[in-house]
Structure 1
């Protein structure tokens, strides 16, 4: 039986194509030139928030912060606050929205209609076609980012082609030969690196790390070895490859769009789960949404 997670990973190019048709709606929700914006999320959605913030600032649209919802304290002034929550029910995201002072325009990116976040948002962007059965998020976060990149004018014409290529490509290593994964990014792909590492932990219960690329030499490389695979997202400096190889580790880098690179990393996480005898549809200790007791 094919895992739901596998099917959702494989659906991404088609789902992205639908997300790109929403570029105008997403632009209205996120661009807001000159406004000071905060993006909130937990887990995967926090890493999406990090990428969104970097993308928006790099597009010259205004100051943008990304904060883990569970750590949010309303100290700064914002014109607009964006919450990313697939389920619309994550307690910490809802609590953060409730703690906001009056004033900021509130936006929710979600995949489910009629959930509590709807009542806390002035604007809702519903990506129900990108919803998932799986606990482990794959296509919802990538679709949010694909649509945002289109909205910001930061999307080339190769995303869908590269997504299909990532689905057809060989994995960069035999999962049986890897005990340790490190994902590196730069700029907006730092959030992707964190998300890839999370997929490995969630699906395969395996050792994975993630860092801004140039920080890797500032200590973390010390634990790399012959069973380590170091994976580059986006424009990671090639000079790091020598450092990785000197530690005895392997390097994976390719020329795919960074979101397509994340698809390949998702596939690797699921393959590693299978090698370890795990079902990625039922990750240990995890639920589709973290709903805390009152």
Structure 2
């Protein structure tokens, strides 16, 4: 596959552009590993699963929760790193429970300590990492490399997308979801189409924003969380993510004339009520920027172009691929360097 990403300006943009090919390659490279992991997890038949992550990886973990609970019927909890790393108090109920630890670097001390404490209690550690030689990977019972390649920009992009694809692949094999397994080979072309979808028309509506809401539901709520984080990191916008179903319970009162709202519309049953919610924000004078099905966009100030994959999981992943182009353009329009956000480092060393 030919990589033309070097012709693109920022590291963030170049690395974002690599995601489609990297994800297509990942599916092929991980095929046997995922089949074996899926069979092992089906045989284990755990009563619940858990995730362990922070930051962008934490939003990927939230995506895993939605996948596991809707596709595999497995309740999934978020295991706070400090429970194991600081308190050393991981529950004995973690014996034979899959703990999915997600870390691009695999080197964050608190995640490693928490993973080690969970293994002490008998958890089955699954590490989703970009570096298969990292300490977290070496600790794992099952290591799943995302094969994203080196990522230099501080803002994670291709590694986040590749992590979502790896989690989708794992859950599809674990659950035996034939529709999802059949849809996955289209991820490369789907992400290429999403990369080409130009969301920069939203830049004028966001260029001077100081605060905003970012909305999603179901599969797109973790995408909204990741988008809000990237807007903070790269554009210094106080963006907060909320569920489309929950935003009316308080946060909606913060929005008034000229305030921006960015909505990631799901394309499955979670889209129920989206059109009316967008219309409510528009009636308040908000600038409503939204992606989703055409029939849900009537209340939007700006309907963002999208792709039409055959599966709602791929549709959600495609939205974050398109969003990263907007995040990069917005940072530049605000006179900021998206590759080097202040006070941040590639590996977060929380104790």
Aligned to 2:194: 166
Matched, 1:19 2:26: yes
Is 1:26–1:148's contact at 8 Å kept on the other side of the alignment?
A: no
Is 1:244–1:251's contact at 8 Å kept on the other side of the alignment?
A: no
Matched, 1:273 2:331: yes
Q: Using the alignment, how far apart are the partners of 2:200 and 2:153 within structure 1?
A: 25
Is 2:51–2:102's contact at 8 Å kept on the other side of the alignment?
A: yes
Aligned partner of residue 93 in structure 2, secondary structure = coil
Provide closer, same or farther for how the CA distance between residues 87 and 45 of structure 1 changes in structure 2, counting only shifts above 3 A.
Answer: same
Aligned partner of residue 72 in structure 2, secondary structure = coil
1:148 Cα offset (Å): 2.6
Is 2:53–2:81's contact at 8 Å kept on the other side of the alignment?
A: yes
Q: Using the alignment, how far apart are the partners of 1:56 and 1:67 within structure 2?
A: 15
What's the TM-score, normalizing by structure 2? 0.76
Instruction: Write the mapping of 1:29-108 to structure 2, written as runs, cut at 5 A.
Output: 29=37, 32-33=41-42, 34-35=45-46, 36-70=48-82, 73-75=89-91, 77-78=93-94, 79-100=97-118, 101-108=120-127
Is 2:104–2:159's contact at 8 Å kept on the other side of the alignment?
A: yes
Provide closer, same or farther for how the CA distance between residues 191 and 70 of structure 1 changes in structure 2, counting only shifts above 3 A.
Answer: farther
Is 1:172–1:252's contact at 8 Å kept on the other side of the alignment?
A: no
Is 2:108–2:348's contact at 8 Å kept on the other side of the alignment?
A: yes
Aligned partner of residue 201 in structure 2, secondary structure = coil
Matched, 1:245 2:270: no
Q: Which has the larger radius of gyration?
A: 2
Matched, 1:231 2:263: yes
Aligned partner of residue 103 in structure 1, secondary structure = coil
Q: Using the alignment, how far apart are the partners of 2:213 and 2:151 within structure 1?
A: 26
Q: Using the alignment, how far apart are the partners of 1:39 and 1:290 within structure 2?
A: 18
Is 1:232–1:253's contact at 8 Å kept on the other side of the alignment?
A: yes
Unaligned runs of 5+ in 1: none
Matched, 1:5 2:46: no
Q: Using the alignment, how far apart are the partners of 2:224 and 2:107 within structure 1?
A: 25
Aligned to 1:217: 248
Unaligned runs of 5+ in 2: 1-7, 294-306, 308-314
Is 1:175–1:271's contact at 8 Å kept on the other side of the alignment?
A: yes
Matched, 1:124 2:152: no
Is 2:100–2:128's contact at 8 Å kept on the other side of the alignment?
A: yes
1:130 Cα offset (Å): 4.0
Q: Using the alignment, how far apart are the partners of 1:107 and 1:246 within structure 2?
A: 47
Taking only aligned residues, the RMSD between alpha carbons, in angstroms, comes to 2.3
What's the TM-score, normalizing by structure 1? 0.90
Matched, 1:193 2:211: no
4+ residue runs over 6 A deviation: none
Aligned partner of residue 188 in structure 1, secondary structure = helix
Is 1:4–1:281's contact at 8 Å kept on the other side of the alignment?
A: yes
Larger CA deviation: 243-252 vs 45-54: 243-252
Is 1:107–1:121's contact at 8 Å kept on the other side of the alignment?
A: yes
Across the two proteins, how many residue pairs are aligned to each other? 293
Provide closer, same or farther for how the CA distance between residues 164 and 128 of structure 1 changes in structure 2, counting only shifts above 3 A.
Answer: closer
1:183 Cα offset (Å): 2.2
Q: Using the alignment, how far apart are the partners of 2:123 and 2:218 within structure 1?
A: 26
Aligned to 2:214: 183
Provide closer, same or farther for how the CA distance between residues 76 and 184 of structure 1 changes in structure 2, counting only shifts above 3 A.
Answer: farther
Summarize deviations over 1:93-140 as a string: whole Å, max 9, x none: 112112223311111111113222133212211224344112111111
In terms of fraction of residues, the more helix-rich structure is: 2
Aligned partner of residue 239 in structure 1, secondary structure = helix
Aligned partner of residue 286 in structure 1, secondary structure = coil
